[in-house]
Structure 1
Amino acid sequence: MRTLIFILCMVGYLLLLGYLGMFVTDKICEKAGNYTKICRIVDISEPHIP
């Protein structure tokens, strides 16, 4: 049971880190204004809500 909780916590933590990473990358791309490879990857993998 403890192992299951640990796995769930790790998954949640990784998702949070991934989301924050995407958000930060998106902000950097906005400021840079030029579309680098990272920005294109973020745009493809993250659906933008209008």
Structure 2
Amino acid sequence: MSADGATPSTGLATGSTIDLAVTGMTCAACAARIERRLNRVPGLEATVNYATER
């Protein structure tokens, strides 16, 4: 799995939205695992969609 075009960024405004392509997911469980891990990061809210690879 990889996040194409992912570049670390700082200085984002509160409530900012970033849309990343996540390639290499082979099932919905992959998306669920990525989403759970990202949502553990303080101040981050993530939604991962297996069908759209985003």
Instruction: Give the TM-score normalised by structure 2.
Output: 0.30
Larger helix share, 1 or 2: 1
TM-score (norm 1): 0.32
Higher strand fraction (1 or 2)? 2
The higher-RCO structure (CA 8 Å, 6+ apart) is 2
Larger Rg: 1
